[in-house]
Copies of this chain bind each other. A is one copy, B any other.
Amino acid sequence: MLTRIDHIGIACRDLDATVEFYRATYGFEVFHTEVNEEQGVREAMLRINGTDDGGASYLQLLEPTREDSAVGKWLAKNGEGVHHIAFGTADVDGDAEAIRGKGVRVLYEEPRIGSMGSRITFLHPKDCHGVLTELVTSAETPPAH
């Protein structure tokens, strides 16, 4: 069961400049940064608010570490902007299976590691009215089963 907007993933060319834009314009501060070599991104998480399922909503700023990564290719085609949206769940495995059973393409056979040790998967944007959609179970969320 999806219980929150976990984050909005935003592709950018220069992570440091984009972090500075969000700080200077809105006062948003960096909560966490990391490099995810598998995804080919350097990223910053900006925590915006807490949510009533005990989690939080973030902006996830993504700079590709290589041009042939998924975000690198997307950026070359689309320019900077919203790359994906993510919903939080206590059970990414169960939800991904249920959604796969409804005929929506799930991009990973098994969830992979996302930001801050979370477990994530993605749904095909062509099956989701044009929206690349991620499902996330946070590392700190107890498993639902």
With A2-B48, A5-B8 given, can you name 17 additional A-B contacts, CB distance below 8 Å?
A2-B26, A4-B49, A4-B57, A5-B5, A8-B82, A10-B130, A12-B129, A25-B99, A25-B128, A26-B87, A48-B87, A49-B57, A52-B52, A79-B130, A80-B130, A81-B82, A81-B125
A18, CB-defined interface residue at 8 Å: yes
List 29 A-B pairs, Cβ < 8 Å: A2-B26, A2-B28, A2-B48, A3-B49, A4-B48, A4-B49, A5-B48, A5-B59, A8-B82, A8-B85, A10-B129, A10-B131, A12-B129, A12-B130, A21-B129, A24-B102, A48-B87, A49-B51, A49-B53, A49-B57, A50-B51, A50-B52, A57-B57, A80-B129, A80-B130, A80-B131, A81-B125, A82-B85, A82-B131
